[in-house]
Amino acid sequence: MRGRRRGTRTATALAALSAFVALAVACGDAGDSASGTSAPVRGGTLTVAFQGEPATLDPAIAWEIESWCIERLTYQTFLTYASRPGKAGTRLVPDLATEVPSRENGGISADGKVYTFRLRKGVRFAPPVGREVKAADFKWSFERMMGNPKAPARRFYMGIAGARAFVDGQSDEISGYEVIDDATVRITLERPDAAFLMAMTMPFTSVMPKEWVEKVGESIGRRPLGTGPYVVSEWRPDQSLTAVRNEYWTGDDDQWVDEMRFDFTGTPGTALSKLEAGDVDVLGDGIAAADHRRVADDPTLRDAVVSAPQIAWYYVFMNVLEEPFTDARVRRAVSHAVDKEKIRKLLAGQGEILGQLYPKGMPGHQAGASFYEYDPGQARRLLAEAGYPDGFTVRFFTHGVDPFPALAESIRADLEAAGVRTDLEQLPRDRYWDVIGRRDSHAAMGLGDWYQDFPDPSGWIRPLFTDPVDGGVNASFYRNAEVDALVAQAASELDEARRVGLFEQMQELIMADAPVVPLCQPVWNGLHGKTTGGVYVHPVWVHTFQEYWKTGGE
């Protein structure tokens, strides 16, 4: 999942951050418990500040952290994750299904290829549609997503029987996605897939009402409607988005607040001021680096910090289709040229050095492994060997959301010391991936960030290092037949140790080709207002706004 975070430049921020994170941990609030100051009351408006608005809320194509956070208010899938912080939050639970399919309950066949989902009865789409959801709605919604060439996650579902023929236009439907009756869907895979149930939690598989999608047409990304606890009532471009209770909501958990408001007008600096004034309840982008000291010095703010490491990374991509990055020696030179220790200090405790593809907490992570050490001399030698003794000049893409600008400046200085001159090109956040993910943009180099879609390394390798397509997230446009073969092998390997070993082999191959430079693994430091509770860092979704409440007073 594409995401956003923030960074810093000052040494004093490091001490400040350490202070309030230490206090958060001491209070048991660093990702292990929900934060709140007093008993919740029902009703009220929850206001969340984001630095920018989502590019779209069409679940077929949206893949940004802010999109998913809001989509989960309006849409539902067969399955989701437990509403808990930490590892407990990675447990699969039913969403619109009655239970999680397993061999024990008959939901998964003995050969691991057939999955049966039984739907909860009485679930209705939000007004103005209002009718009951049926299994056929899931099939239509799924085929709508799979039929969209801009859908970035189709690769996760190509193992469904008939999916390839459907995508290639050889069939009018996905034969392996069957409607058995109004409340039952059966999905048949061509081969077992150990991560399939996790892939079915992603918002790409959300159920939508066909009649509404056809009515609003291309504006569906701005007028979402599903079965979730809230309905988008107003979206003022670049200003705000408001969602109100879905009167037909029948979920097990009744929601606390009557209205959610997302404010897109702020900057990292102004968001905290709005929170202190009571105009904002939650910092959607987390605590800005410049505000660390301010938060650490204020006991009220400090006690409202929620902090947890993220299964995520920041990285540099190099487009292997663009000169000079068609030469692996050039890519390896760049890998040696970046000073990650400087980046660690720059982030001031908000990130730890990452020298491999998989962050800590992801199966396949190898403790202490680092594939390319900082060595500017070796970088220059490799460039000379590749025919660039005097270096070269390249456009370096970034966006303006903290910490990308600071990271880009740091990396530019490192590359220049090795002979690579960069022209920084900063794009708006909501256009960034649309540009760097397209071949005709000729985006040879830039920054990327990635947050786990689900807790499995296939959600890391497949989108970033296989099947490069226009509009996707494989900005390196990297492909390796050996990696593809290992991905297919791992999908059907049910022995966990052997499966992890296959992902370790993939890492060795990819890092030898060096299409990316892993930089660091971020830590999420969130903050909420004194009249807001129920806030914690979810290990997959980050925010679970539908669980937050207002206390109704000081």
HEC assignment per residue over 505-527:
HHHHHHHHHCCEEEEEEEEEEEE
How many Å separate Cα 183 from the centre of its chain?
30
Domain boundary among 202, 218, 234: 218
- For 215, counting Cβ atoms within 10 Å of its Cβ (0-12 exposed, 13-18 middle, 19+ buried), the class is middle
Q: What is the mean pLDDT of residues 73-98?
A: 96
Same domain, 514 and 530: no
Residue 266: predicted pLDDT: 79
Query: What CATH number does residue 409 fall under?
Result: 3.10.105.10
Per-residue pLDDT at 309 exceeds 90? no
DSSP 8-state secondary structure symbol assigned to residue 356: S
The size of the chain, in residues, is 554
Residue 528 lies in a domain: yes
Confidence grade of residue 8 (pLDDT, cut at 50, 70, 90): very low
DSSP strand E in 401-461: where? Answer: 420-427, 445-451
Residue 31: predicted pLDDT: 45
Domain boundary among 218, 244, 262: 218
**Alpha-carbon span 311 to 361, nearest angstrom:** 6
Percent of the chain topping pLDDT 90:
77
Per-residue pLDDT at 127 exceeds 90? yes
pTM: 0.81
192 C-beta neighbours (distance < 10 Å), count: 16
Per-residue pLDDT at 113 exceeds 50? yes
Q: What is the mean pLDDT of residues 207-215?
A: 99
Query: What CATH number does residue 39 fall under?
Result: 3.40.190.10
- φ, ψ of residue 193 in degrees (nearest 5): -135, 110
User: What angle separates helix 458-465 from helix 481-491, to the nearest 10 degrees?
Assistant: 150
Same domain, 370 and 510: yes
Name every residue whose Cβ is closer than 8 Å to that of residue 106 and which is 6 or more positions away in sequence.
Answer: 116
Per-residue pLDDT at 11 exceeds 80? no
**444 neighbors 305 (Cβ within 8 angstroms):** no
Same domain, 489 and 352: yes
Residue 480: predicted pLDDT: 98
Same domain, 287 and 355: no
Burial string for 31-58 (b: 16+ CB within 10 Å, else e) reads bbebbbbeebeeebebbbbbbbbbbbbb
Residue 60 lies in a domain: no
Domain boundary among 218, 241, 268: 218
Residue 553: predicted pLDDT: 55
DSSP 8-state secondary structure symbol assigned to residue 403: T
Residue 34: predicted pLDDT: 55
Residue 255: predicted pLDDT: 86
Residue 237 lies in a domain: yes
Return the C-alpha torsion angle 287, 204, 491, 194, nearest 10.
80
Mean pLDDT score of the chain, rounded to an integer?
91
**Alpha-carbon span 354 to 520, nearest angstrom:** 4
* H, E, C per residue of 230-296: EEEEEEECCCEEEEEECCCCCCCCCCCCCEEEEECCCCHHHHHHHHHCCCCCEECCCCCHHHHHHHH
Tell me if residue 542 falls in helix, strand or coil: strand
**Alpha-carbon span 400 to 187, nearest angstrom:** 42
Tell me if residue 527 falls in helix, strand or coil: strand
**Alpha-carbon span 4 to 383, nearest angstrom:** 32
Q: What is the mean pLDDT of residues 339-368?
A: 91
Residue 69 lies in a domain: no
**196 neighbors 454 (Cβ within 8 angstroms):** no
Same domain, 176 and 161: yes
List, for residues 137-195, the tens digit of each pLDDT value.
999 999 999 999 989 889 899 999 999 999 999 999 999 999 999 999 999 999 999 99
* Residue whose C-alpha is closest to residue 474's, from 506, 440, 439, 425: 439
**466 neighbors 458 (Cβ within 8 angstroms):** no
Query: What CATH number does residue 89 fall under?
Result: 3.90.76.10
Residue 35: predicted pLDDT: 56
By residue range, what is the domain housing residue 252? 11-55+223-303+524-550
DSSP strand E in 272-388: where? Answer: 282-283, 305-309, 312-318, 351-353
Residue 424 lies in a domain: yes
Q: What is the mean pLDDT of residues 123-132?
A: 98
Question: How many structural domains comprise the chain?
Answer: 3
Range of weakest confidence among 120-129, 288-297, 326-335, 471-480: 288-297
Same domain, 187 and 109: yes
Q: Give the helix/strand (H/E) hosting 47.
A: strand 45-49
Residue 112 lies in a domain: yes
Same domain, 290 and 391: no
List, for residues 47-62, the tens digit of each pLDDT value.
999 988 999 999 999 9
Q: Which residue has the higher pLDDT, 308 or 9?
A: 308
Q: Which two tokens stand for residue 345?
A: 């200090």
Placement of tokens 């469904």 in the chain = 160
* Residue whose C-alpha is closest to residue 285's, from 531, 54, 3, 84: 3
Residue 6 lies in a domain: no
Same domain, 363 and 431: yes
**Alpha-carbon span 136 to 116, nearest angstrom:** 14
Positive or negative, the Cα torsion across 47, 51, 57, 62? negative
Per-residue pLDDT at 10 exceeds 60? no
Same domain, 318 and 438: yes
**Alpha-carbon span 98 to 465, nearest angstrom:** 35
Q: Which residues share a beta bridge with 448?
A: 315
Same domain, 99 and 145: yes
Residue 4: predicted pLDDT: 33
Residue 38: predicted pLDDT: 67
Residue 422 lies in a domain: yes
**Alpha-carbon span 6 to 295, nearest angstrom:** 15
Q: Which residues share a beta bridge with 523?
A: 309
Per-residue pLDDT at 336 exceeds 50? yes
Same domain, 125 and 167: yes
Same domain, 328 and 438: yes
Helix and strand numbers, DSSP H then E, in the chain:
17, 19
Per-residue pLDDT at 128 exceeds 60? yes
